[in-house]
Amino acid sequence: MKIFFDDVVKREMYNEISINIRNGLPNASIISLFVYSEVLGAMGRMINGEGENVVFGTGQSNRNFQSYLDYAGKVYSDVNAKEAYRVIRGGIIHRYFIGRSALIVINPEDPFGTVDYRIGCPIKITEESVYFNVNQYFRDMKVTVNKIRRKMKRERLESLEIARSFNRTRLVFLTNKEMTQ
């Protein structure tokens, strides 16, 4: 479990989000944040006794996102997970735009999500508009990861085997020279 949190979540996921923020890429940042929230929410569901095949199964992404929001705390309790998932994540992934008036705040000078913007919940959705603060959501994600880890320790689930398929993914980085050989 320590390997998953330290190597995958804190090293790889956090790094990818930081690079997106530093380069001023709001859509890529939001996609990463939502996808990783789903993974973390699935982990939360597994801690509560659901199996890996269930939580990573077809049609579970929205439930995983809701689970993540539950772990993220009280400030997220008013977020309608289905609506946020459909409007923000779905809009960007399927149309590249949110589809209604939106204000997306991203601060490239805070790529590691260290500033507390003191805005409460970084997701606000109404019928007319959407507000999303990328940096605050990232900051809150780090707190949520630590909550999930602490719960795993309390429940004595440190050895819980999760996301076995992550270990099967190989990444190959090639240079232009290698591509032409």
Q: Tens digits of per-residue pLDDT, 117-159?
A: 999 999 999 999 999 999 999 999 999 999 988 888 787 766 6
For residue 165, pLDDT over 60 is answered with no
pLDDT value of residue 1: 53
- The pTM of the full predicted model, rounded to 2 decimals, is 0.88
* Residue 53 pLDDT: 84
More confident residue, 8 or 59: 59
Average pLDDT value for residue range 77-99: 91
Q: What whole-number distance in Å separates Cα of residue 41 and Cα of residue 11?
A: 18
Average pLDDT over residues 38-43: 92
The confidence score (pLDDT) of residue 172 equals: 72
Taking CA atoms, 95 is separated from 31, 86, 133, in Å, by 12, 11, 20
At 160 the pLDDT is 62
Q: Domain-by-domain residue ranges, the chain?
A: 2-179
Of 8-17, 46-55, 65-74, minimum mean pLDDT range? 46-55
Contact by Cβ (8 Å): 47, 155: yes
pLDDT grade for 101, boundaries at 50, 70 and 90: very high
What DSSP string runs through 96-153? SS-SSEEEEE--TT-TT-------S-SEEE-SSEEEEEHHHHHHHHHHHHHHHHHHHH
In this prediction, what percent of the chain has a pLDDT beyond 70? 88
* Average pLDDT value for residue range 98-105: 93
168 pLDDT band, cuts 50/70/90, is: low
| Distance (Å, whole) CA 132 – CA 125 | 9
Distance CA 69, CA 85 (A): 11
User: Which of 115, 94, 96, 116 minimizes the C-alpha distance to 104?
Assistant: 96
The C-alpha atoms of residue 33 and residue 35 are separated, in whole angstroms, by 6
Determine the Cα–Cα distance for residues 97 and 33; give it in Å rounded to an integer: 16
Percent of the chain scoring above 90 in pLDDT: 61
Cα separation, 126 vs 172, in Å, equals 43
Distances (CA, A) of 9 to 3, 35, 149: 9, 12, 11
